[in-house]
Every structure is written in structure tokens, then in C-alpha cells.
Amino acid sequence: MLNGKHVLLGVTGGIAAYKSAELIRLFIKAGCHVKVIMTKHATEFITPLTLQTLSGNPVFLDMFSLIKDHDIAHIALAEEADILVIAPATANVIGKMAGGLADDLLTTVALATKAPILICPAMNTNMYENVMVRENLRKLAVLGRHVMMPGTGELACKSEGWGRLPDLPDILEEAQSILTEKDLAGERILVTAGPTREPFDPVRFITNYSSGKMGYALAVVARRRGAAVTLISGPTSLPVPAGVDFIPVSSALEMRDAVMKRLKDATIVIKSAAVADFRPSTQADAKIKKKGGALTLTLERNPDILAEIGKQKKGRILIGFAMESEDLVENAKAKLLTKNLDLIVANDLKQSGAGFQTDTNIVKILDRQGGIEALPLMEKMEVAGRILDRAKRLLK
Ligand code: CTP
């Protein structure tokens, strides 16, 4: 978790420097202690007072006044940091770092720190595409610095292309990922998430209230912990998590095809999707018009994807979910056995704070030996961590 971490933010002289104000707020919201170093050019774009106010700490500007004013050497800043994030990183600072130069406070600290360094480039497209800059970034990456891809789109200089500062939530996620132990490295985790849509004409479908939040949390946390993650998702309004292989699908049949195609590569499968059990038997080509009376739809069974995977489980770990409104444990146990799972995560739809739509969940994790781990109300990200801990124990 980022909570409690010391983030040292280096702000350099590009127009995106103004975004550092919001980045500080995001780090603070995540529970970090933030200190800021600005280069001289950065102060042309945003004032130290703004960043000082937001970070709640003095902003460090140059080597020599620092020692005089705050009685803290650059080495102390370098040592205190859990991570040095340079956002925005200009071509100039990237060049200096790649050359091992230390002619100001930021580049000196970058050489002095043993903390991981995350470089978030932001510059004009032509500069970003320049072979010198590309080579400098490549060199920094090879030497163990973490280099993010810039975003693409309209730039301050009115040109279009690569060079925008990466989105701030993505910078936060990258920092989080860098600081997370890679205890699932080498695992290939297939996660399904969200609802499915079962259409009966071109404008209407049957679906359910699943938001996808639990499955997306699993994908994000598994990726942070070093797993290669494939996320097969029904339609949701959630942003696509960074760094995962994302496969959007709509109906249960599409989800089943997508899962089966990728099953053989997976070492762990977690099926958190709320798959519709039934689909309309027919799909009209044109919008169904009202004709006075009631409309009768005939539904047919969708394949049970999880049960199908259970039949060809082989050595992989298989985890399912059970959404119940009554007899939670008995029903979940039955699904665990009939679908040939290693674990089933059961939640009671009647409990407030559990189930669809919420950011929290209250679950029980059942295993094949009859064990029941009852977790209290938790954030879905935390629940995801606990489920992955159990999967990891089974791998051993
Ligand atoms: N599941 C699936 N394919 C389906 C239905 C469910 O893969 N057609 C998976 C879900 O992703 C979940 C588990 O099976 O991991 C249990 O889903 P749930 O809806 O709780 O139960 P069902 O098996 O559909 O049984 P019922 O609707 O009778 O409770």
C-alpha cells in the first residue's frame, strides 16, 4: 500500500508542471508523506508556495539554500524517500540523469538515493521522438529506472501525438506497483469480471447489477504483485486497469469463448463475473414494437463457464464466487464441489456493504477441506489481496 510511504516528487520545467499540484493531492489522499523538489525552470510554471501548501512541507529548490534554511542535507532527502517520482520529467532532466550528471538538487538526489525512481516524461512530440531522448530513456530503463510511457493527444504546443504527462491515476498506480512485493511473479492469472448482456433485439438486453469492481480489484492487485493478468470483462463503467491484458466481451457466450481460448496459459483462474444464467432464445433483427398485449420471452440456459473449466482443471488453481440471498454456506459449498473449485468466495446479497456496486464487500472464503474464513467488512481492494493470499498458499 502507498499508505505511510515517503514520496519525494521531483517537478521539472515543463507546462505539465501545473499538474504536479493535483498529483500531490492524490498521493496525500493515498496516505503518503510528500516532499517536493523543484528545478529552477519548474518555478516558472507553478509557484513553490502552491506545492508547499498542498504537500504541507517546505519545497526544496536548490542545494545551498536548502542547507542554510532547513538544516537538512540532500542526502537526508535521498535517504528518507521510499520512492522518487519525477513528474513531469523534461527531456533536459532525462538527459542529465542518463548521463549521470548532478548539477542541481533534483539530479543530485536522483544519484544519491537508493529508492526506486519513477520517471514520467512530458514534452513536445518531436522532442519525445528524438533519437537522443529515446536513447536516454532506454538507457535509464535498462539501468533499472522505471520509465512510464507518456500519454498521447493534444499537447500544450497545439501539436498532436505522444508527449503528454501520463494520467495522474496511472502514475499513482505505477508508484504503488513499484512498491509492492512481487510475490506472484511467474503466475498467469485469468480474471473474469462484470455482468454479461443477453440481447433480445438490437436495443434491449437482460443483464444484472454487477459493477465489475471486485474483479477489477483482483486484476489490479494481482498485477501489482507481479502476475501477468488477463482480465475478461463484461460491460462496466470502470477504467481499464493499467498493465493488464484486457479483453472486453458482452454476452455469456462471448465470455465463454474468450475464457476457453486463454485457459491453457493460466495458472490461476478467478471467476468473479456475474454471468447471466439464461439468454433469450431468439434475437430479433429489428427493434420489437409494442403490439398491445404482453411480450413473452423464452429464455434458454447459458453454459456454466466455471463448471466447464472445472472439468478440465488440470494443475491450475480455480476460484469461483457465490452470490447468495439465503443459505450462504450450504449453497457455496455445493458450488465449490460441483464445479470442482479450490476456493469459493461467498457473499450474502442481503448484508449491507456486500455484493454488487459497493466499494466494500463482506465475504467468506470456503475451501475443499471444509475451512471457512470469514472476513469482516473490507474495501474490495483488500478483499482481493486476501483472496490472492489464499491462492498463493495453494500454489505451495
Ligand atoms: N458462473 C459461470 N457461468 C455461469 C454462471 C455462473 O461461470 N453461467 C460462475 C460465476 O462466475 C461464479 C460462480 O459460477 O464464479 C457462481 O455463480 P452464481 O451466479 O453465484 O451461481 P450459479 O452457479 O449461477 O448458481 P445459481 O444461479 O443457481 O445460484
Q: Write down the domain spans for the chain.
A: 6-178, 188-286+296-395
The residues, any chain, with a CB within 8 Å of residue 140's CB and separated by 6 or more, are 94, 97, 98, 119, 147
> C-alpha grid cell for residue 318?
480455480
| CA proximity to 160, closest of 137, 128, 198 | 128
Other CB atoms within 10 Å distance of the CB of residue 298: 9
How far is 30 from 297, CA to CA, in rounded Å? 48
CA distance linking residue 61 with residue 138, whole number of Å: 28
* pLDDT at residue 356, rounded to an integer: 80
d(CA 213, CA 59) in angstroms, rounded, equals 37
Whole-prediction pTM: 0.92
6-178 shares its CATH topology with 188-286+296-395 = yes
Q: Give the Cα separation of 326 and 161 in Å (integer).
A: 54
Phi (first) and psi of residue 324, to 5 degrees: -130, 150
Q: Which atom of ligand 1 is nearest to the CA of 276?
A: 8
Q: Class of the 188-286+296-395 domain?
A: alpha beta
- pLDDT per residue as tens digits for the range 5-29: 999 999 999 999 999 999 999 999 9
157 as an active site residue: the answer is: yes
d(CA 165, CA 122): 5
Could you tell me the three cell numbers for 369?
477441506
CA distances from 246 to 149, 273, 361, 385 (A): 18, 14, 24, 20
Counting ligand 1 atoms within 8 A of each CB, the residue from 321, 338, 340, 363 with the most, and so the one to mutate, is 321
What does the pLDDT read at residue 67? Answer: 56
Looking at the CA of residue 322, tell me the nearest atom of ligand 1.
20
Sign of CA dihedral 246, 249, 252, 255: negative
Cβ atoms of residues 319 and 268 within 8 Å? yes
C-alpha 297, offset from chain centre: 39
The answer to whether the CB of 193 is under 6 A from ligand 1 is: no
- From the candidates 157, 240, 337, 395, give the one annotated as an active-site residue: 157
CA separation, residue 68 to residues 63, 64, 72 (Å): 9, 7, 8
Q: Which of 198, 271, 333 to mutate to test the pocket of ligand 1 (most atoms within 8 A of CB)?
A: 271
Geometric angle at alpha carbon 43, from 131 and 56, rounded to 5°: 115
Three-state SS for 44?
Answer: helix
Q: How many angstroms does the Cα of residue 283 sit away from the middle of ligand 1?
A: 23
Segments in the chain below pLDDT 70: 65-73
Tens of pLDDT along 305-316?
Answer: 999 999 999 999
Quick one: angle between helices 168-178 and 213-224, nearest 10? Answer: 50
Residue nearest (by alpha carbon) to ligand 1 atom 9: 306
Provide the pLDDT for residue 362.
93
Q: In Å, how far from its chain's centre is CA 317?
A: 22
Is 212 near ligand 1, meaning CB less than 6 Å away?
no
- Please give the pLDDT value at position 68: 58
Q: Identify the CATH assignment for 6-178 out of 3.40.50.1950, 1.10.645.10, 3.40.50.300, 3.30.365.10.
A: 3.40.50.1950
Q: Using the structure block, give the residue that is written with the C-alpha cell 513536445.
A: 124
Check pocket membership of 252 for ligand 1, CB cut-off 6 A.
yes
Nearest protein Cα to ligand 1, atom 16: 322
Angle, nearest 10°, between helix axes 213-224 and 380-395?
60
Longest dimension (CA), the chain: 85
Task: Please name the residue whose Cα sits nearest to atom 12 of ligand 1.
Answer: 321
* Residue 274 DSSP one-character state: B
| Ligand 1 nearest atom to the CA of residue 277, by list position | 8
Ligand 1: which atom is nearest the Cα of residue 273?
A: 11
| 256 phi, psi to nearest 5 deg | -60, -45
CA 3 from chain centre, in angstroms, equals 16
The length of the chain is 396
Task: Give me 5's grid cell.
Answer: 510511504
